[in-house]
Amino acid sequence: MSDQPLNVLFLCTGNSARSILAEKLVERWGDGKFRGFSAGSHPQHGVHPRALAVLDEAGLPTAGLRSKSWDEFATPSAPVMDFVFTVCDDAAGEVCPIWPGQPMTAHWGVPDPASVTGSDLERTVAFRAAFRMLETRIKLFASLPFAKLEQASLRRRVQEIGRIGSSADEGSAA
């Protein structure tokens, strides 16, 4: 691993909640090793207010956050990504742009908190649960010994992290 931070792009369809949360979490837990980015295939008109609230609760900065198209990161002038993670099932199934630099990719599906209906409390709980699931995965990702792992081993571990919290018994602990 070089002295330069690794660029990590999180993708979701709307880029209004999960990918935004992940962008800020990778910077928090990456201890300067990562620069976080997020984008969507069909970005919303803004960041979901509950995503902003959860980030505020966690003491993470929200200034400048916006929903962006993934096309912004597929241009020659865009930062070259080292990792690209999809965090929603819709984005994982879409045909993604060709990313310059051939980054390592994985699917880290997280239930969509923005789709939860019910009371204000139920919707807030869904956003907090998505935040915790992403935080758990990102802490594990950030703790990987990148310099010591061969590409195949790193790829396997990154993909395994995406399954953490996905089963019923692991999900209840999140």
Q: Which residues are catalytic?
A: 12, 88, 96
| DSSP reduced 3-state for 39 | strand
Which among 46, 85, 88, 50 is positioned nearest to 67, based on CA atoms?
46
Half-sphere exposure of 96 (CA within 13 A, CB side): 27
| DSSP reduced 3-state for 107 | strand
Alpha helix segments (H runs only) across 45-145: 49-57, 89-93, 120-142
